[in-house]
């Protein structure tokens, strides 16, 4: 897709998004959006994003490390940091690359990410998760961590509810077990799913976090 075509696709997307806020035809909009993403998305654009942002997972990794430090004495704080790690990993390491793969300009992609985060519509998120699945082979709606009966996506949402109760309603009742579960969720996203996603497009990681595309590396 040429730059002009990508910019035109962005303009069409914004127009349709604006119309959707003013009408009730949301289902059709999300179906069309998913089809456009699948049609226009290319592995090269995904690689381009990751190579331009090789430390994209660093903030999530640091938040996870903080959660582990806080776990023994401060389970409420540990749970909050663990959920932050999971959310940042999903947004920055999974969602952002998909959106940047669709739009040519960085500003356009960042605008769309902000819109998606603010409207918090499950249908739109589901469409992007399906695109992530198509590109990496990882289905976040079905992936289960070892020992868990629920998909990682459901566990992440449950942990977010605990986090919201703590920071929005001051319900400081998180147990150490709940904090440990939140940490395990973030670990799966960062230490299992993220590396597989990177490898699926021909890249690799150094130290579990630094993205590299050099074929000369021993880790490649």
Residue pLDDT, tens place only, 162-216: 999 999 999 999 999 999 999 999 999 999 999 999 998 899 999 999 999 987 7
Query: Once rounded to an integer, what is the mean pLDDT over residues 49-59?
Result: 94
Q: What is the pLDDT of residue 21?
A: 47
Given a contact cutoff of 8 angstroms between Cβ atoms, the answer to whether 76 and 66 are in contact is no
**Whole-number percent of the chain with pLDDT over 70:** 70
Q: CA angle, 191 as apex, 150 and 47 as ends, to 5°?
A: 110
- d(Cα 99, Cα 109) in Å, to the nearest integer? 6
Domain boundaries, the chain: 3-212
Residue 218: half-sphere exposure toward Cβ, Cα within 13 Å = 1
Average pLDDT, the chain: 81
The answer to whether 132 and 142 have CB atoms below 8 angstroms apart is no
Query: Could you tell me the pTM of the whole model?
Result: 0.76
């Amino acid at each position: 897709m040429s730059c002009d075509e990508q910019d035109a696709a962005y303009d069409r997307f914004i127009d349709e998004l604006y119309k959707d806020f003013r009408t009730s035809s949301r289902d059709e909009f999300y179906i069309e959006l998913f089809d456009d993403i699948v049609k226009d998305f290319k592995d090269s654009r995904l690689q381009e994003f990751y190579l331009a942002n090789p430390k994209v997972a660093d903030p999530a990794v640091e938040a996870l490390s903080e959660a582990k430090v806080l776990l023994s004495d401060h389970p409420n704080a540990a749970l909050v940091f663990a959920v932050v790690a999971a959310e940042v990993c999903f947004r920055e390491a999974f969602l952002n690359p998909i959106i940047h793969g669709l739009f040519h300009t960085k500003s356009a992609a960042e605008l769309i990410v902000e819109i998606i985060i603010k409207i918090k519509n499950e249908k739109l998120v589901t469409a992007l998760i399906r695109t992530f699945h198509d590109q990496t082979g990882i289905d976040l709606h079905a992936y289960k961590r070892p020992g868990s009966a629920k998909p990682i996506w459901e566990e992440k949402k449950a942990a977010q509810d605990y986090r919201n109760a703590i920071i929005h309603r001051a319900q400081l009742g998180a147990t150490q077990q709940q904090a440990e579960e939140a940490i395990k969720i973030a670990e799966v996203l960062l230490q299992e799913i993220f590396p597989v996603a990177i490898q699926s497009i021909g890249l690799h990681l150094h130290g579990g976090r630094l993205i590299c595309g050099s074929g000369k590396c021993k880790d490649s």
